[in-house]
Structure 1
Amino acid sequence: SIDPGPVEAITATGATPVQVVLFAVIPQVFPQFLALTFYRWDINVRMSTIIGFVGGGGIGFLLQQWINLLQYNQAGTALLAIACVVIILDMISARVREKIIS
């Protein structure tokens, strides 16, 4: 939900409905929308590994195959790659949130 104050203030100045949305609604909704987007992005990256591990394909499938074949060097490399992707996504998310908040 959004604060009705800015909406009422902009409406009182004679703004069109499009201007109300652009200047009162979107600035209030955008940070939450962006936070949810990054949250879902992070979940999707992590879940793709799990889905692949149980047979869905992708890096998780390769990880499972390498573990089953006792190829621990390749499995370790895959785990390192997954960890790097997750860390980079977290860093990007933190920087974007920091810029939005300040």
Structure 2
Amino acid sequence: VNECLQQVALADRIILNKLDLVDDDEATAIEARVRDINRLATVKRTIRGDVPTSYVMDVGGFEIDDVEEQVIESEHQHGHSHDADDCNDPDCGYEHSHSHEHSH
């Protein structure tokens, strides 16, 4: 299991930091890749970690019911969905099937 990929896939909010170290095209490509992995998360671009504390602290947490509802709405708005079998690239690196448990 690729831990970084899993973190991006399950994140509610994603911070793309140190964007002063890449050009605009590269930053856009990075953000596009992140959005391919998780189209539901809010993505914030930043330099030197300049992010309001509320963006990090007031997240509300991961709720599977909310995610399922957002996915259904998103698929309805776009008129299509992507299946795990859509990726035919052997170097994709994305784990298309996984399970996890949460305990509270």
TM-score of the superposition, structure 1-length normalised? 0.23
Bigger-Rg structure (1/2): 1
Answer 1 or 2: which has greater strand percent. Answer: 2
TM-score of the superposition, structure 2-length normalised? 0.23
Answer 1 or 2: which has greater helix percent. Answer: 1
